[in-house]
Amino acid sequence: MAVPKRHLSKARRDKRRSNVWKLEAPALVKCSNCGSLKLPHQACGNCGYYKGEEVIKKA
């Protein structure tokens, strides 16, 4: 069975793992109906439209 040749400090271990959990900002697109920012492939929370059709009734 393989064993580590040298002891790895927690700092070195964590430095190597730091890039694994990097967060990315969510992609945002403009709504074609009202122009507000929304998530892609989702109905607009502002006007309720998705792909030119009203899918959520807004009062």
> What is the DSSP secondary-structure string of 21-53?
T---PPP-EE-TTT--EE-TTS--TTT-EETTE
Q: Which of 42-46, 49-53, 54-58 has the lowest mean pLDDT?
A: 54-58
Q: What is the band of 6 on the pLDDT scale with cuts at 50, 70, 90? A: very high
Residue 37 pLDDT > 90: yes
For position 35, what pLDDT does the model report?
Answer: 93
| Percent of the chain whose pLDDT exceeds 70 | 98
Residue 21 pLDDT > 90: no
Q: Structural domain boundaries of the chain?
A: 25-58
Residue 8 DSSP class: -
Number of C-beta neighbours around residue 10 at 10 A? 7
Asked if residue 33 lies in contact with residue 17, where contact means CB atoms within 8 angstroms, the answer is no
Residue 59 pLDDT > 80: no
